[in-house]
C-alpha cells in the first residue's frame, strides 16, 4: 500500500492577487519493506577489460560493503571472442581475453530476506545492478521489489526474437536498444545502475535524470573500463562522476577493435573506435514561448532518440 | 528508548525542512515517531573569536553548540511543532560534534566526497555525514536530563531542491533586480540543472556510508514537473514592484514566497519567516581554521 499525499492550498498571492494553487504531491513507498520506511540500498562495481580481469580490490569491496553489508556478490564472466574475428585477433601480440566483473553489495533491513544482486538471468546471462528506488513505472506505483521488476522489463526489451507471433522478422539490435532505453524513460525515482545485456553484447549504465545516486567512472585510459558507486580512498585520482544526462552504452562487440576504451564518449575520431555511446535525455513538448517558461519542459517520461 | 521511529528529517529549523516535518505529520500513522536531526559543530575559529571567559560569570561555560544558528532555529521550530501537532512524538536530536571528532573523520569524508574536492564540498559533507550517523543527545524535558541517542531511522528526509525550485537564494533576488523576471527564471534554471552534478552524487556517497538512505520530497518528479510549469512570480516575490499589503496577509519575505505562505497557512508562523541559511554556516562547519578560506578552494 503506497501512501500518496496531495496537499493542495489555494493561496492568494499578495502581490498579484492571482490564486496560486499548490499541488504538493509526493509518494512515500510504504510497502517497500512491509515494515515501512526501510531502504534497500546497493553498492555497485563494474569492470570490463580487454586483457585481464580487474575485480575490485579488498579496499574497494570494504567501501562498497558500507553501503551494503548484508550481501556481496562478485560475478566474473569471460567473454569469448566469437566468429570470424578470432583469427585476426589471436594473431595480435597481446592476447585478448575480454572479461567482465560485476559486483553488488546490498543493504536490506527486511528481516532476513535479502535479494542479492547483481540480479542474474540464467537464460541469457544478463546482469543488473540496481541502486535505486523506482517509485513509479509508467505512472503506475510500484509494488514489491523494484529491481526485479525493472530487470524483467529490461530482459523483455532485450529479446532478439519474437517467438510468440511466429513472425519471420526478429527484433533488430536497434529495436532492442530503443526498447531498453524506453524502460529507463518510464521510471520515476532515484537510481544508478549497470545493466549487462548479454543477449546483445552491450553494457548500459547511468543515473536518474536528477542525479540523486552516485556513480563514478574510471578515467584511466587503459584497456579497461570501470564503474563504481564510490571510490576507495587509496585510488583517488582515477575517477570522475558519470554525468546524469542520459544513458551510456558500451558496445562490447565493437570494442574488440578498440586500442583503448575512452572514458568519455566522443564522436568523429577515426583513429579510435568509440566504445561508449552517450544517449542524452530528450525533451518532449515544445518550449513554452512566453515569459512563464522557467526551464524547458523537462518531462520525465519521454522518448529517447536513438 | 528507540521506539517506532522510522523516518528522520535533516532539521535546521529553516523553512524547507520545517515544512517537510509538518507535512510528514499528515502522512505518517499517528503512532510513529519523527526524529529531527540537528547538527552543530564546535568551530574553533568562532569559539576563539568569541573571546575568553565572561568577566561577569566566569564559571558558566559557553557551549559552542548552543550558539550555532541552526541549533537555535532548530529548537525554536521544534517547539512550534510541539504546539502545532501535539499528538505526535517529535524527538529533537542534538548532534554535537567537537572539533577533534571532525578531525578524526576528516580523511574518511574527503575520500567519500571524491572526486568533489573543495572546501565547500567538505564543509557541507561534514554536516551531512554526522547527521546521517544519527548519534546525538535528546533532552527529556520532564526529567530535566540529557541522554545519548542514536536514531533507528534508516530513511532521512532532506529539504534540498526547494531553493532551486522556488527561489530561495540571495542571487535569485539579485538576478531579478538586475535582469528582471526573465533573468530570475534563467538563474533558477541554472541552479536546478546543476543539482545532480554539484551536490547529489557527493551527498549520496556521504550519507549511504552509514546505511542511511536520503530522500528528497522536493525532487519528486511530479512536484518538479508542476513547479517548473508555474510562473516565477507565483513562486517567489522577487522583482515585483511594491505590494499592497493587506492587513490580513502576513508580511513575509519574497524568497520562496509560495512555501512561506503554505507554512503560514499550516500555522507554522516562525518557520514561514526564517531566512535562508546554508548548512555549512548554520552548523558552523565552514571556515574552521581560518576565516580566509574560500569555499571554492581545493582541499589541500
Q: What is the 3-state secondary structure (H, E, C) of chain B?
A: CCCCCCEEEECCCCHHHHHHHHHHHHHCCCCCCEEEEEEEECCHHHHHHCCCCCCCCCCCCCCCCCCCHHHHHHHHHHHHHHHHCCCCCEEEEEEEECHHHHHHHHHHHHHHHCCCCEHHHHHHHHHHHHHHHCEEEEEECCCCEEEEEECCCCEEECCCCHHHHHCCCHHHHHHHHHHHHHHHHHHHHHHHHHHHHHHHHHHHHHHHCCCCEEECHHHCHHHHHHHHHCCHHHCCCCCCCCCCCCCCCCCCCCCCHHHHHHHHHCCCHHHHCCCCCCHHHHCCCCCCCCCCCCCCCECC
Contacts of B249 in chain A (CB under 8 A): 12, 14
Alpha-carbon distance of B12 to B132, in angstroms, equals 14
Chain A residues 234-293 with a CB less than 8 Å from chain B: 236, 239-241, 243-244, 291-293
Q: Which residue of A has its CA nearest to B221?
A: A188
Closest CA to A130 of A79, A182, A196: A196
Query: pLDDT-derived band of residue A122, with 50, 70 and 90 as boundaries?
Result: very high
Q: Does the pLDDT value for residue A37 go beyond 50?
A: yes
User: Comparing A117-126, A152-161, B61-70, B245-254, which segment has the lowest mean pLDDT?
Assistant: B245-254
A299 interface with B at CB cutoff 8 Å: yes
Q: Which of A103-107, A114-118, A231-235, B239-243 has the lowest mean pLDDT?
A: B239-243
What is the model's pLDDT at position B298?
87
| pLDDT band at A254; cut points 50, 70, 90 | low
- pLDDT on residue A285: 30
Residues of chain A with pLDDT > 90, as a percent, come to 16
User: For chain B, which ranges sit under pLDDT 70?
Assistant: 1-3, 51-62, 239-250
pTM, two decimal places: 0.83
Q: Which of residues 52-111 of A touch B (CB under 8 A)?
A: 66-67, 69, 107, 109
The pLDDT score that the predictor gives to residue A99 is 77
Q: Across chain A, what does the average pLDDT equal? A: 67
Which among A27, A39, A106, A232 is the top mutation candidate for probing chain B, defined by the most B β-carbons within 10 Å of its own β-carbon? A39
| pLDDT score at B77 | 96
How high is the pLDDT of residue A162? 53
With H, G, I as helix, E, B as strand and everything else as coil, classify residue A160: coil
- Residue B11, pLDDT score: 96
CB within 8 Å: A26 and B153: no
Give the closest of B196, B222, B240 to A15, CB-based.
Answer: B240
Average confidence (pLDDT) over A155-159: 93
Q: Indicate which of A3, A65, A110, A230 best probes the interface with B, i.e. most B CBs within 10 Å of its own CB.
A: A230
Of the pLDDT bands very low, low, confident and very high (cuts 50, 70, 90), residue A22 is very low
pLDDT at A111: 52
Residues of B in contact with A13 (CB under 8 A): 233-234, 257-258, 261
Q: Do A14 and B249 lie within an 8 Å CB cutoff?
A: yes
- With CA atoms as reference, report the closest residue to A63 among A210, A302, A306, A239: A239
Chain A CB contacts of B167 below 8 Å: none
Q: Could you identify the residue written with the cell 518528479?
A: B221
Rounded-to-integer distance, Cα B300 and Cα B290, Å: 14
From A52-56, A186-190, B235-239, the region with the lowest mean pLDDT: A52-56
The set of cell numbers assigned to B242 is 511594491
Cell numbers standing for residue B16: 524547507
Residue A291 has pLDDT above 60, yes or no: no
Dist CA B288 CA A188 (whole Å): 40
* pLDDT above 80: residue A273: no
pLDDT of residue B249: 62
Comparing CA positions, the residue from A49, A77, A44 lying closest to residue A61 is A44
Q: What is the pLDDT of residue A13?
A: 37
Residue with more model confidence, A104 or B34: B34
Amino acid at each position: 500500500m503506497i501512501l500518496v499525499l496531495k496537499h493542495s492550498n489555494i493561496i492568494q498571492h499578495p502581490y498579484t492577487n492571482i490564486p496560486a494553487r499548490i499541488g504538493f504531491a509526493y509518494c512515500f513507498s510504504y510497502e517497500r519493506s512491509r515494515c515501512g520506511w526501510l531502504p534497500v540500498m546497493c553498492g555497485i562495481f563494474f569492470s570490463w577489460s580487454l586483457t585481464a580481469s580487474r575485480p575490485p580490490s579488498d579496499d574497494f569491496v570494504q567501501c562498497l560493503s558500507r553501503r551494503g553489508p548484508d550481501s556481496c556478490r562478485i560475478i566474473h564472466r569471460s567473454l569469448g571472442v566469437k566468429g570470424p574475428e578470432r583469427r585476426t585477433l589471436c594473431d595480435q601480440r597481446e592476447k585478448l581475453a575480454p572479461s567482465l566483473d560485476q559486483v553488488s553489495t546490498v543493504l536490506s533491513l527486511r528481516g532476513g530476506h535479502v535479494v542479492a544482486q547483481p540480479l542474474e538471468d540464467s537464460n541469457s546471462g544478463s546482469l543488473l545492478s540496481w541502486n535505486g528506488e523506482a517509485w513509479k513505472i509508467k505512472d503506475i506505483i510500484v509494488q514489491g521489489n523494484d529491481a526485479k521488476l525493472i530487470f524483467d522489463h529490461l530482459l523483455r526489451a532485450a529479446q532478439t526474437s519474437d517467438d510468440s507471433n511466429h513472425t519471420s522478422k526478429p527484433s533488430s539490435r536497434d529495436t532492442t536498444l530503443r526498447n531498453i532505453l524506453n524502460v529507463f524513460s518510464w521510471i520515476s525515482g532515484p537510481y544508478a545502475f549497470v545493466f549487462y545485456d548479454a543477449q546483445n553484447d552491450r553494457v548500459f549504465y547511468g543515473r536518474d535524470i536528477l542525479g540523486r545516486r552516485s556513480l563514478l567512472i574510471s578515467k584511466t585510459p587503459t584497456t579497461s573500463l570501470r564503474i563504481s558507486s564510490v571510490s576507495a580512498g587509496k585510488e583517488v585520482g582515477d575517477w570522475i562522476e558519470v554525468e546524469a544526462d542520459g544513458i551510456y552504452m558500451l558496445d562490447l562487440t565493437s570494442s574488440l577493435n578498440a586500442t583503448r576504451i575512452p572514458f568519455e564518449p566522443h564522436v568523429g575520431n577515426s583513429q579510435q573506435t568509440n566504445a561508449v555511446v552517450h544517449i542524452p535525455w530528450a525533451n518532449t513538448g515544445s518550449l513554452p514561448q512566453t515569459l512563464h517558461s522557467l526551464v524547458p519542459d523537462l518531462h520525465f517520461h519521454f522518448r529517447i532518440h536513438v | 528508548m528507540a521506539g517506532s521511529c522510522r523516518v528522520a528529517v535533516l532539521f535546521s529549523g529553516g523553512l524547507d525542512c520545517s515544512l517537510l516535518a509538518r507535512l510528514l505529520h499528515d502522512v505518517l500513522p499517528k503512532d510513529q515517531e519523527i526524529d529531527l536531526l540537528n547538527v552543530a559543530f564546535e568551530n574553533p575559529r568562532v569559539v576563539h573569536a568569541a573571546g575568553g571567559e565572561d568577566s561577569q560569570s566566569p564559571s558558566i561555560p559557553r557551549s559552542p553548540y548552543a550558539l550555532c544558528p541552526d541549533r537555535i532555529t532548530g529548537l525554536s521550530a521544534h517547539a512550534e511543532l510541539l504546539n502545532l501537532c501535539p499528538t505526535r512524538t517529535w524527538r529533537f536530536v542534538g548532534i554535537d560534534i567537537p572539533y577533534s571528532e571532525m578531525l578524526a573523520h576528516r580523511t574518511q569524508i574527503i575520500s567519500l566526497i571524491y572526486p568533489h574536492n573543495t572546501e565547500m564540498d567538505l564543509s557541507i559533507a561534514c554536516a551531512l555525514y554526522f547527521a546521517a550517523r544519527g548519534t546525538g543527545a535528546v533532552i527529556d524535558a520532564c526529567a530535566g536530563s540529557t541522554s545519548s541517542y542514536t536514531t533507528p531511522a534508516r530513511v532521512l528526509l532532506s529539504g534540498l531542491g526547494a531553493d532551486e525550485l522556488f527561489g530561495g537564494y540571495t542571487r535569485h533576488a539579485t538576478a531579478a533586480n538586475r535582469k528582471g523576471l526573465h533573468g530570475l527564471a534563467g538563474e533558477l534554471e541554472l541552479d536546478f540543472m546543476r543539482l545532480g552534478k554539484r551536490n547529489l552524487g557527493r551527498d549520496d556517497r556521504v550519507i549511504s556510508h552509514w546505511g542511511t538512505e536520503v530522500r528528497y520530497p522536493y525532487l519528486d518528479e511530479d512536484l518538479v514537473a508542476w513547479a517548473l510549469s508555474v510562473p516565477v512570480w507565483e513562486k517567489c516575490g522577487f522583482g515585483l514592484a511594491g505590494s499592497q499589503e493587506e492587513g490580513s496577509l502576513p508580511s513575509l519575505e519574497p524568497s520562496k514566497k509560495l512555501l512561506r505562505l503554505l507554512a503560514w497557512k499550516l500555522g507554522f508562523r516562525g518557520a514561514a519567516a526564517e531566512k535562508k541559511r546554508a548548512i555549512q554556516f548554520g552548523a558552523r562547519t565552514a571556515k574552521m581554521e581560518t576565516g580566509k578560506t574560500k569555499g571554492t578552494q581545493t582541499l589541500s
